[in-house]
Structure 1
């Protein structure tokens, strides 16, 4: 009888050990998958926010180049070619903003991105010099405000 009890205890112990091992392995696997998913999302956000910030800076530069070309501040610059360049760069900025909208859950970040696009768009060639300077400063600040807000969404604690 003692052999049977010992065998039953051994079998029950083995089963309990197997169940515990299975439970902890499954939990560890779920934790690892969740971590990988969160890290991929973080990397995608970094990429999207960086691409959008870069697209805004490029569009802003092109808008300013166009303004200076029209106001005869840049020799040899073709305002018409710069106009088409700003169209192309605005399209790039809008595409990058769409990507931001897809990877973020922050309404504030989407609105800051739209505000930055709008302020860069206001760098129109028909602005007076003082108004151009104010708009240029505002657009720079709006871009940096977006980047600062975006940084909070990719920081790891």
Structure 2
């Protein structure tokens, strides 16, 4: 009996140590997975926001060009400018759809939509003053978009907390 008690204590200690090690390793692995997910999400958002800002700026410029071609009254140039503007608007809308997949920030998506819609109106302006006013407002909205988007990619702690809440359960 005197040899059994130390053996039981040794077995219990070994099991307790193995259980504690498993718990801490599992906790560390889950944290690493959460941080990895948050960083991938941050990188995807950064890429999507940048792609949209580039596409929106190019679309805005295409609508300015379209306005000038309309003023020249050259039907071939107007048609080419229209096709270019439509292509750039498609790229901007596609980038905005990607943003919708990556964020739950409805204001950011609204800003993107407003930028596209306001840029569309540039080529329909009656005169240069109205054209410039619409163009300036579209640029201001783009600046507001970039400023708001920056908060999501510059604050890793906030992204990590959000990602932890939204992340699907990891398979065991």
Q: Give the TM-score normalised by the residue count of structure 1.
A: 0.91
Query: Where does structure 1 differ by over 6 angstroms across 4 or more consecutive aligned residues?
Result: none
**Which residue is 2:107 aligned to?**
108
Contact in 2 for aligned 1:70/1:125 (Cα 8 Å)? no
Unaligned runs of 5+ in 1: none
Aligned to 1:59: 59
Deviation at 1:44, TM superposition (A): 1.0
Residue in structure 1 matched with residue 14 of structure 2 by the alignment: 14
Alignment of 1:38-49 (within 5 A): 38-49=38-49
Q: CA RMSD in A?
A: 1.5
Distance apart, 1:118 and its partner CA: 1.3
Structure with higher RCO (Cα < 8 A, 6+ apart) = 2
Is contact 1:119-1:135 (8 Å) kept? yes
Unpaired runs of 5+ in structure 2?
158-172
Post-superposition offset of 1:69: 2.8
Normalising by structure 2, we get a TM-score of 0.83
Question: Secondary structure at 2:104's aligned position in 1?
Answer: coil
Moved more, 102-111 or 77-86: 77-86
2:166 maps to what in 1?
none
